[in-house]
Amino acid sequence: MKTNVIFFDTYAFFEIIRGNPSYEKYKHMTILTTVFNLVELNYGLKRQKGRQIADRYLDLYESHTVPITSGDIKQATELKLRKKVMSFADVIGYVMARKYGVKFLTGDEDFRGMKNVEFVK
């Protein structure tokens, strides 16, 4: 398991942006994420803070996305069938974190107690 690299769920991005002190130690790690997490982030920030701020964060984190294959999608949809409440961005992100051998950083209750999750509120 890589200790200086972590996968950011959308929840983690929002907590970093809000300045949650529990997420402070993750700010300087190497971040992985998917385009789906950035879609959720951009949409949520546009609703909360406006287009300019939302697009600035999208540009900032775009280079941290990892490519998704059809095999990854197959694994993610299997997880979605078992965990119906999770979003597609969530299940794809979780699968990608496992694929890259890094922890999945989130505070989303759906992931509490799951293997390979760094659960932080």
Q: What is the pLDDT of residues 23-80, one digit of tens each?
A: 999 999 999 999 999 999 999 999 999 999 999 999 999 999 999 999 999 999 999 9
Report the relative pairing of strands 117-119 and 5-8 from DSSP bridges: unpaired
- Rounded average pLDDT over 87-96: 96
- Hey, what are 70's tokens? 């059809």
Neighbours of 47 (CB within 10 A): 9
pTM equals: 0.94
Q: Would you tell me which CATH number, out of the four given (3.30.720.200, 3.40.50.620, 3.40.50.1010, 3.30.2320.80), belongs to the domain 5-20+28-119?
A: 3.40.50.1010
pLDDT value of position 3:
79
The residue among 15, 36, 30, 16 whose CA lies nearest residue 103 is 30
If you ran DSSP here, which 8-state letter would residue 114 be given? -
- Rounded average pLDDT over 1-14: 92
- Rounded average pLDDT over 103-112: 96
Given a contact cutoff of 8 angstroms between Cβ atoms, the answer to whether 93 and 108 are in contact is: no
Q: Please, which pLDDT band fits residue 97 given cuts at 50, 70 and 90?
A: very high
User: Residue 1 pLDDT > 90, yes or no?
Assistant: no
- Rounded average pLDDT over 18-26: 97
Q: What is the mean pLDDT of the chain?
A: 96
Given a contact cutoff of 8 angstroms between Cβ atoms, the answer to whether 9 and 37 are in contact is: yes
User: Residue 85 pLDDT > 90, yes or no?
Assistant: no
